[in-house]
Amino acid sequence: MANKKWIDAGPVDNFKPDTVSEVLVGTKKVAVSNRGGKFGAVLGVCTHAGGPLGKGKLAEDYIVCPWHYWKFHRITGKAQPGYEDAVPQFETKVEGGRLWISDTPVTRGHKKVHPPHSLARPVDRAEGPIRLAGISTTAMDASEPRYSTSEALLETALEHAARELECETRLIKLNELQFRNCEGFYSKAARACTWPCSITQMDPKDELTEVYETFVHWADAVIVSTPIRWGQASALYYKMAERLNCVQNQVTINDRVLIQNKIASFIITGGQDNIQAVAGQLLTFFAELGFRFPQFPFIAHSRGWSAEDMEDNIRYVQDSEELRSGAKALAGRTVAMSKDLLQSKGACAGRTERGGRKAQPL
């Protein structure tokens, strides 16, 4: 400590009571807090994902990271009770109406090494038959289920794939999963949106893990079914899609494509029209995740804007051999392309140029 230097952080009046500020001490970002006229200074980099503690807020004597809400004592730098992490502490003093901060921390930081989340494992396809997943995005009262035209056709496709195409199949009904909405971590900073999803890491009760596991690790191909709701895909579809930003964002921040050599296709039904717009959104989004598509990648049904007799629409789908045959054929095209990709090794691994977008620097 003999070579310790004091850095002038500015007038004391700049640091308002009950606030946190980010100050540059040499090359270090330091989180400076003022509570009741008593100052604290700790390294302003959260041990979790590198969030800027100096842009956080105070909760009594703890600084709350603005990214994922980890808490560190504003004086000691220690994490809240029950956690072992800590960020380094810096000495402060007030002289001549100015705040001074030592350029050398008086404590060391600590980051507990946690076992990696199961989703964070390398993506490695196991041997076996083609694995086809169905994702139903229709919403309904689980205690009073109704007939869903999109889900019924999806079940037809999966049954055909299992019986006739010798695939392993899995049906996920989003309506049966309890999962939180995307909370916009990406809107705070690109690197605040992590893989696995920060919500999944922090909330073991969040059940979108099943979707992540299926898309990234289990499935070779997926068929997503959606009803048309006011000319758009279902609200449950969009709720899932927003939470899949953490998969796409790995390309943006790490140049890492989690979805390799996988196929997606779609089933779209509804009393209202706008099939092509719904299909366009689905195709664009799943292309951004890294999926590929078979020829004629969706089947659809709609009786148009004026068809308000929904009970007749349901009967039409139930009685339509054409739609059931279409669902089976869609499964066939999807599985056939998946087999071709796996046999040819598909896209090469490594860096993937992506429409002029570049990975963000650290």
The parts of the chain modelled with pLDDT lower than 50 are 1, 348-350, 362
In the numeric block, which tokens belong to residue 178? Answer: 């309890």
Rounding to the nearest 10 degrees, give the CA dihedral for residues 111, 112, 113, 115: -130
The overall average pLDDT reported for the chain is 92
Q: What is the pLDDT of residue 293?
A: 98
- What are the sequence ranges of the domains in the chain? 6-102, 118-344
Smallest CA-to-CA distance from 284 within 244, 253, 254 is with 244
Q: Where is 225: in which H helix or E strand?
A: strand 221-227
How far, rounded to the nearest angstrom, does the alpha carbon of residue 36 sit from its chain's CA centroid?
39
What are the structure tokens assigned to 29, written together? Answer: 């970002």
Domain 6-102 in CATH 2.30.42.10? The answer is no
Q: How many angstroms separate the CA atoms of 101 and 93, rounded? A: 7
Q: What is the pLDDT of residue 307?
A: 77
Tens digit of each residue's pLDDT (9 = 90 or more) over 290-343: 999 999 999 999 988 777 777 788 888 999 999 999 999 999 999 999 999 998
Can you tell me the distance from the alpha carbon of 244 to that of 240, in angstroms, rounded to the nearest whole number?
A: 6
Of the candidates 227, 234, 223, the one whose C-alpha atom is nearest the C-alpha of residue 266 is: 223
What pLDDT was estimated at residue 362?
46
pLDDT of residue 272: 77
Q: Is the pTM of this model over 0.85?
A: yes
Q: Which CATH class is domain 118-344?
A: alpha beta
| pLDDT reported for residue 145 | 87
CA-based radius of gyration for the chain: 26
Helices (H) then strands (E): counts for the chain: 9, 15
Bin 355: left if φ > 0, else alpha if -120 < ψ < 50, else beta: left
Return d(Cα 208, Cα 215) in angstroms, integer: 11
pLDDT score for 348: 47
Q: In the prediction, which pLDDT does 8 show?
A: 95
Q: Is 96 left (phi over 0), alpha (psi -120 to 50) or beta?
A: left
Q: What is the pLDDT of residue 360?
A: 55
